[in-house]
Amino acid sequence: MPSETPQPAFVLVRPQMGQNIGAAARAMWNFGLDRMRLVAPRDGWPNPDATAMSAGAGRLLDEAQVAGTVAEAVADCTYVLATTARPRGLTKPVLSPERAMAEARDRIARGEKVAVLFGPERAGLENADIAQANAIISVPVNPDFASLNLAQCVLLTAYEWRRQTVDVVAEDMAMGGSEWANVKELDALAKHYEERLDTAGFFFPEAKAESMKINLRNLWSRMPMTRADVQMLHGILRQMVRWKERGD
Protein backbone atom coordinates (compact mmCIF):
# COMPACT_ATOMS: atom_id res chain seq x y z
CA MET A 1 0.00 0.00 0.00
CA PRO A 2 1.18 3.55 -0.68
CA SER A 3 2.37 5.45 2.37
CA GLU A 4 -0.04 7.73 4.19
CA THR A 5 2.34 10.68 3.92
CA PRO A 6 0.55 13.57 2.15
CA GLN A 7 2.15 14.04 -1.24
CA PRO A 8 1.46 14.74 -4.91
CA ALA A 9 0.92 12.01 -7.48
CA PHE A 10 3.56 11.85 -10.20
CA VAL A 11 1.93 11.06 -13.54
CA LEU A 12 4.10 9.71 -16.36
CA VAL A 13 2.26 10.47 -19.59
CA ARG A 14 2.76 7.96 -22.41
CA PRO A 15 6.21 6.85 -21.22
CA GLN A 16 8.07 5.01 -23.93
CA MET A 17 10.76 2.92 -22.22
CA GLY A 18 10.34 0.63 -19.26
CA GLN A 19 13.84 1.51 -18.07
CA ASN A 20 12.85 5.16 -17.71
CA ILE A 21 9.73 4.24 -15.76
CA GLY A 22 11.86 2.17 -13.39
CA ALA A 23 14.42 4.95 -13.03
CA ALA A 24 11.61 7.42 -12.31
CA ALA A 25 10.26 5.12 -9.59
CA ARG A 26 13.71 4.94 -8.05
CA ALA A 27 14.02 8.74 -8.14
CA MET A 28 10.62 9.15 -6.51
CA TRP A 29 11.39 6.74 -3.70
CA ASN A 30 14.75 8.44 -3.07
CA PHE A 31 12.73 11.40 -1.82
CA GLY A 32 9.88 9.58 -0.13
CA LEU A 33 7.31 9.73 -2.93
CA ASP A 34 5.43 6.58 -3.83
CA ARG A 35 2.29 7.56 -5.77
CA MET A 36 3.02 6.85 -9.40
CA ARG A 37 0.42 6.97 -12.13
CA LEU A 38 0.97 5.91 -15.74
CA VAL A 39 -0.92 7.11 -18.80
CA ALA A 40 -0.90 4.70 -21.76
CA PRO A 41 2.66 3.35 -21.43
CA ARG A 42 3.87 2.55 -24.95
CA ASP A 43 5.07 -0.99 -24.24
CA GLY A 44 2.15 -1.99 -22.05
CA TRP A 45 2.09 -2.71 -18.35
CA PRO A 46 3.61 -4.32 -16.33
CA ASN A 47 7.03 -4.00 -17.90
CA PRO A 48 9.95 -6.19 -16.74
CA ASP A 49 12.47 -3.57 -17.88
CA ALA A 50 10.94 -1.11 -15.42
CA THR A 51 11.27 -3.55 -12.54
CA ALA A 52 14.90 -4.28 -13.36
CA MET A 53 15.73 -0.57 -13.41
CA SER A 54 13.83 0.39 -10.26
CA ALA A 55 16.64 -0.86 -7.97
CA GLY A 56 14.54 -1.55 -4.89
CA ALA A 57 11.62 0.72 -5.70
CA GLY A 58 9.59 -2.04 -7.32
CA ARG A 59 6.74 -1.52 -4.87
CA LEU A 60 5.93 1.77 -6.61
CA LEU A 61 5.58 -0.07 -9.90
CA ASP A 62 3.39 -2.77 -8.38
CA GLU A 63 1.08 -0.11 -6.93
CA ALA A 64 1.15 2.26 -9.91
CA GLN A 65 -2.26 3.28 -11.25
CA VAL A 66 -2.66 2.97 -15.01
CA ALA A 67 -5.02 5.15 -17.03
CA GLY A 68 -5.79 5.56 -20.70
CA THR A 69 -5.80 9.36 -20.76
CA VAL A 70 -4.46 12.30 -18.80
CA ALA A 71 -8.01 13.27 -17.84
CA GLU A 72 -8.59 9.84 -16.30
CA ALA A 73 -5.25 9.90 -14.48
CA VAL A 74 -5.93 13.24 -12.75
CA ALA A 75 -9.71 12.98 -12.40
CA ASP A 76 -9.57 13.07 -8.59
CA CYS A 77 -7.15 16.02 -8.42
CA THR A 78 -7.94 19.66 -7.79
CA TYR A 79 -4.59 21.08 -8.90
CA VAL A 80 -2.38 19.80 -11.71
CA LEU A 81 1.12 20.90 -12.67
CA ALA A 82 2.71 20.11 -16.03
CA THR A 83 6.46 19.95 -16.56
CA THR A 84 7.89 21.36 -19.76
CA ALA A 85 11.20 22.84 -20.87
CA ARG A 86 10.01 24.86 -23.88
CA PRO A 87 7.54 27.67 -24.56
CA ARG A 88 4.04 26.47 -25.41
CA GLY A 89 2.15 29.61 -26.36
CA LEU A 90 -0.41 28.93 -23.63
CA THR A 91 -1.55 31.47 -21.06
CA LYS A 92 -0.74 29.78 -17.74
CA PRO A 93 1.25 30.51 -14.60
CA VAL A 94 4.84 29.32 -15.07
CA LEU A 95 6.52 28.26 -11.83
CA SER A 96 10.02 27.23 -10.92
CA PRO A 97 10.27 23.71 -9.47
CA GLU A 98 10.85 25.21 -6.02
CA ARG A 99 7.80 27.48 -6.21
CA ALA A 100 5.67 24.71 -7.72
CA MET A 101 6.42 22.28 -4.92
CA ALA A 102 5.78 24.97 -2.30
CA GLU A 103 2.37 25.51 -3.90
CA ALA A 104 1.76 21.76 -3.97
CA ARG A 105 2.71 21.51 -0.30
CA ASP A 106 0.31 24.27 0.71
CA ARG A 107 -2.58 22.90 -1.30
CA ILE A 108 -2.09 19.37 -0.03
CA ALA A 109 -1.98 20.72 3.53
CA ARG A 110 -5.43 22.20 2.86
CA GLY A 111 -6.72 18.79 1.82
CA GLU A 112 -6.42 19.15 -1.95
CA LYS A 113 -5.11 16.44 -4.27
CA VAL A 114 -2.22 17.49 -6.50
CA ALA A 115 -0.67 15.80 -9.53
CA VAL A 116 2.45 16.53 -11.56
CA LEU A 117 2.54 15.54 -15.23
CA PHE A 118 5.74 14.35 -16.92
CA GLY A 119 5.79 13.89 -20.67
CA PRO A 120 7.12 11.09 -22.86
CA GLU A 121 10.82 10.90 -23.62
CA ARG A 122 10.72 11.86 -27.29
CA ALA A 123 9.14 15.31 -27.15
CA GLY A 124 7.57 15.83 -23.74
CA LEU A 125 3.98 16.73 -23.07
CA GLU A 126 1.72 17.87 -25.89
CA ASN A 127 -0.22 21.13 -25.64
CA ALA A 128 -3.41 19.12 -25.26
CA ASP A 129 -1.93 17.57 -22.11
CA ILE A 130 -0.71 20.88 -20.73
CA ALA A 131 -4.09 22.49 -21.38
CA GLN A 132 -5.50 20.24 -18.66
CA ALA A 133 -3.03 21.56 -16.08
CA ASN A 134 -3.48 24.56 -13.82
CA ALA A 135 0.13 25.68 -14.07
CA ILE A 136 3.44 24.85 -15.71
CA ILE A 137 6.71 23.86 -14.05
CA SER A 138 9.64 25.23 -16.02
CA VAL A 139 13.15 24.11 -15.14
CA PRO A 140 15.85 26.77 -15.69
CA VAL A 141 17.95 24.63 -18.01
CA ASN A 142 20.47 25.57 -20.69
CA PRO A 143 18.29 27.00 -23.52
CA ASP A 144 20.66 25.46 -26.06
CA PHE A 145 20.09 21.99 -24.58
CA ALA A 146 16.78 22.04 -22.75
CA SER A 147 15.77 18.39 -22.99
CA LEU A 148 15.78 16.51 -19.69
CA ASN A 149 15.64 12.75 -19.36
CA LEU A 150 12.31 11.64 -17.87
CA ALA A 151 13.90 10.24 -14.71
CA GLN A 152 16.05 13.37 -14.33
CA CYS A 153 12.99 15.59 -14.40
CA VAL A 154 11.22 13.36 -11.88
CA LEU A 155 14.30 13.41 -9.64
CA LEU A 156 14.61 17.18 -9.76
CA THR A 157 10.94 17.72 -8.93
CA ALA A 158 10.98 15.10 -6.18
CA TYR A 159 14.04 16.76 -4.66
CA GLU A 160 12.28 20.11 -4.58
CA TRP A 161 9.27 18.45 -2.92
CA ARG A 162 11.56 17.03 -0.27
CA ARG A 163 13.11 20.43 0.33
CA GLN A 164 9.68 21.98 0.87
CA THR A 165 8.43 19.33 3.29
CA VAL A 166 11.46 18.26 5.33
CA ASP A 167 13.80 20.40 7.39
CA VAL A 168 16.95 20.36 5.28
CA VAL A 169 20.15 21.18 7.14
CA ALA A 170 22.09 23.55 4.92
CA GLU A 171 25.41 22.66 6.54
CA ASP A 172 26.53 20.20 9.17
CA MET A 173 29.78 18.81 10.50
CA ALA A 174 30.50 15.10 10.52
CA MET A 175 32.59 14.60 13.65
CA GLY A 176 34.26 11.35 12.64
CA GLY A 177 33.83 9.81 16.08
CA SER A 178 35.44 12.69 17.96
CA GLU A 179 34.17 15.74 19.86
CA TRP A 180 35.11 19.39 19.78
CA ALA A 181 38.05 20.25 22.01
CA ASN A 182 37.14 22.41 24.99
CA VAL A 183 38.94 25.51 26.25
CA LYS A 184 40.91 23.59 28.88
CA GLU A 185 42.27 21.18 26.27
CA LEU A 186 43.22 24.02 23.92
CA ASP A 187 44.91 25.83 26.78
CA ALA A 188 46.98 22.73 27.58
CA LEU A 189 47.98 22.46 23.92
CA ALA A 190 49.01 26.13 23.82
CA LYS A 191 51.11 25.72 26.98
CA HIS A 192 52.77 22.59 25.60
CA TYR A 193 53.83 24.40 22.44
CA GLU A 194 54.87 27.52 24.32
CA GLU A 195 57.13 25.50 26.60
CA ARG A 196 58.79 23.61 23.78
CA LEU A 197 59.14 26.64 21.53
CA ASP A 198 60.59 28.61 24.45
CA THR A 199 63.19 25.88 25.00
CA ALA A 200 63.99 25.96 21.29
CA GLY A 201 64.57 29.72 21.43
CA PHE A 202 61.66 30.57 19.20
CA PHE A 203 60.40 33.53 21.22
CA PHE A 204 63.08 36.01 20.22
CA PRO A 205 63.72 38.80 20.80
CA GLU A 206 62.51 38.72 24.38
CA ALA A 207 60.66 42.02 24.00
CA LYS A 208 58.35 40.40 21.45
CA ALA A 209 57.91 37.09 23.28
CA GLU A 210 54.61 37.98 24.92
CA SER A 211 52.96 39.21 21.71
CA MET A 212 54.23 36.11 19.88
CA LYS A 213 52.62 33.88 22.51
CA ILE A 214 49.35 35.78 22.20
CA ASN A 215 49.44 35.37 18.43
CA LEU A 216 50.08 31.66 18.84
CA ARG A 217 47.15 31.27 21.23
CA ASN A 218 44.99 33.27 18.84
CA LEU A 219 45.95 30.79 16.13
CA TRP A 220 44.81 27.83 18.25
CA SER A 221 41.54 29.56 19.17
CA ARG A 222 40.73 30.28 15.51
CA MET A 223 41.15 26.66 14.51
CA PRO A 224 38.05 24.48 14.99
CA MET A 225 39.82 21.49 16.56
CA THR A 226 38.49 18.22 17.85
CA ARG A 227 39.95 16.32 20.79
CA ALA A 228 41.54 13.96 18.29
CA ASP A 229 43.22 16.94 16.57
CA VAL A 230 44.58 18.18 19.90
CA GLN A 231 45.92 14.75 20.81
CA MET A 232 47.60 14.45 17.42
CA LEU A 233 49.30 17.83 17.77
CA HIS A 234 50.52 16.91 21.25
CA GLY A 235 51.85 13.65 19.81
CA ILE A 236 53.64 15.39 16.95
CA LEU A 237 55.44 17.70 19.35
CA ARG A 238 56.41 14.87 21.73
CA GLN A 239 57.81 12.82 18.86
CA MET A 240 59.82 15.77 17.52
CA VAL A 241 61.32 16.32 20.98
CA ARG A 242 62.17 12.62 21.35
CA TRP A 243 63.82 12.66 17.92
CA LYS A 244 65.97 15.64 18.91
CA GLU A 245 66.88 14.08 22.28
CA ARG A 246 68.00 10.85 20.57
CA GLY A 247 70.31 12.88 18.39
CA ASP A 248 69.24 11.06 15.19
Domain, as residue range, for 104: 9-165
Structural domain contains residue 224: yes
Asked if pLDDT for residue 212 goes beyond 80, the answer is: yes
Q: Are residues 67 and 112 in the same domain?
A: yes
What value does the mean pLDDT take over residues 90-113?
A: 96
Q: Are residues 207 and 233 in the same domain?
A: yes
Q: Are residues 55 and 93 in the same domain?
A: yes
Q: Could you read off the pLDDT of 223-240 as tens digits, one per residue?
A: 999 999 999 999 999 998
Q: Are residues 35 and 93 in the same domain?
A: yes
pTM: 0.80
Choosing from 107, 135, 165, the residue where a domain stops is 165
Structural domain contains residue 219: yes
Q: List the CATH number of the domain containing 140.
A: 3.40.1280.10
Q: Are residues 35 and 135 in the same domain?
A: yes
Asked if pLDDT for residue 248 goes beyond 60, the answer is: no
Asked if pLDDT for residue 142 goes beyond 90, the answer is: no
Structural domain contains residue 171: no
pLDDT of the residue at 240: 86
Q: Are residues 22 and 93 in the same domain?
A: yes
Between residues 189 and 169, which one has the greater pLDDT?
189
What value does the mean pLDDT take over residues 65-93?
A: 93
Please tell me what DSSP assigns to residue 206. Answer: G
What value does the mean pLDDT take over residues 207-215?
A: 94
Q: Considering Cα of 144, then 147, then 151, then 153, what sign does the dihedral take?
A: positive
Q: Are residues 58 and 19 in the same domain?
A: yes
Cβ(99)–Cβ(38) under 8 Å?
no
Quote the number of domains for the chain: 2
Structural domain contains residue 156: yes
Q: Are residues 30 and 123 in the same domain?
A: yes
Q: Are residues 194 and 152 in the same domain?
A: no
Amino acid at 40: A
Tell me the DSSP string of 115-172.
EEEE--TTT---HHHHTTSSEEE-----TTS----HHHHHHHHHHHHHHHHS---S--
Asked if pLDDT for residue 244 goes beyond 70, the answer is: no
Q: Are residues 218 and 97 in the same domain?
A: no
- Note the Cα 33 to chain centre separation in Å: 14
Q: Are residues 33 and 145 in the same domain?
A: yes
Beta-carbon count within 10 A of 244 CB: 12
- Note the Cα 216 to chain centre separation in Å: 40
Structural domain contains residue 17: yes
Q: Are residues 161 and 187 in the same domain?
A: no
Structural domain contains residue 59: yes
Q: Could you read off the pLDDT of 163-181 as tens digits, one per residue?
A: 999 998 889 888 888 999 9
pLDDT of the residue at 247: 61
User: What are the helix (H) ranges across 3-130?
Assistant: 18-30, 48-54, 58-62, 70-73, 97-109, 127-130
- Note the Cα 191 to chain centre separation in Å: 44
Q: Name which of 169, 11, 164 is nearest 98 in CA terms.
A: 164
Structural domain contains residue 175: no
Cβ(132)–Cβ(80) under 8 Å?
yes
Q: Could you read off the pLDDT of 18-49 as tens digits, one per residue?
A: 999 999 999 999 999 999 999 999 999 999 99
The alpha carbons of the chain give a radius of gyration, in whole angstroms, of 30
Structural domain contains residue 178: no
Beta-carbon count within 10 A of 96 CB: 13
pLDDT of the residue at 57: 94
